Amino acid sequence: MTVQARPGAPDATTAPGASGVTPGDVTALWASAQVTALDVENFPDYGSAAWLALRATDPRRAAAILTAAEQWRRHTEREAWLDQLLDEDPERWYRIVTADAEAYARRVAPSIARRPTHAEVQARRTKAPAARAVVATPGWPPIAIPGRPGWYRHCGPNGEQIDRPDNQPIGQERAA
């Protein structure tokens, strides 16, 4: 709950002024001016080993503190805004919170769609059924045997399978 200065007055910590400038905007500008006034270009992250090694009077130490404080202020301001948005407009909150994930999904979806599914990969791994055995059928002409050029499988008088190097049905051989 936010404590108000007087009943009915807008919250001075988040409400924009007449010009539309929020206290957060003013704070960010102030922090930026302070870091600029310190006239340091490179400074370590707040709390890092390099920061701890700085003397208390080193301006880089103060610049790191101001930068970390401003980053924390922006973080908490955004979290508070998202919490308020969740209460007021859950659908918009969801769109904002998931926007990055949805953009990533749209970017990778085409490449994922081109990949075979698990079921397709499993189907490819299964062995193809063995070729059907070459079987001669009674009443039909002899069948060429794959892998043995010039040989034919015949159906004998009792239904037995006979391989011969000619194409003449059994019982119809030519006289020599």
Task: Identify which of 70-74, 144-148, 158-162 has the greatest average pLDDT.
Answer: 70-74
Put simply, whether the predicted model's pTM sits higher than 0.75 gets the answer no
Q: Do 66 and 79 lie in a common domain?
A: yes
Question: What is residue 130's predicted lDDT score, i.e. its pLDDT?
Answer: 81
32 and 70 together in one domain: yes
> For the chain, what is the HEC assignment?
CCCCCCCCCCCCCCCCCCCCCCHHHHHHHHHHHHHHHHCCCCCCCCCCHHHHCCCCCCHHHHHHHHHHHHHHHHHHHHHHHHHHHHHHCHHHHHHHHCHHHHHHHHHHHHHHHHCCCHHHHHHHHCCCCCCCCCCCCCCCCCEECCCCCCCEEEECCCCCEEEECCCCCCCCCCCC
Do 133 and 98 share a structural domain? no
Query: pLDDT value at position 8?
Result: 37
Q: In this model, does residue 6 exceed pLDDT 70?
A: no
> Do 112 and 73 have their domain in common?
yes
Residue that finishes a domain, picked among 123, 140, 162: 123
Whether 97 and 63 map to the same domain: the answer is yes
pLDDT the model gives residue 172: 62
Domain that holds residue 98: 23-123
Give the pLDDT band (50/70/90) at residue 166.
confident
Same structural domain, 31 and 91: yes
Domain identity same for 78 and 150: no
In this structure, is residue 8 part of a structural domain?
no
Residue 29 has pLDDT above 70, yes or no: yes
Task: State the pLDDT at residue 10.
Answer: 44
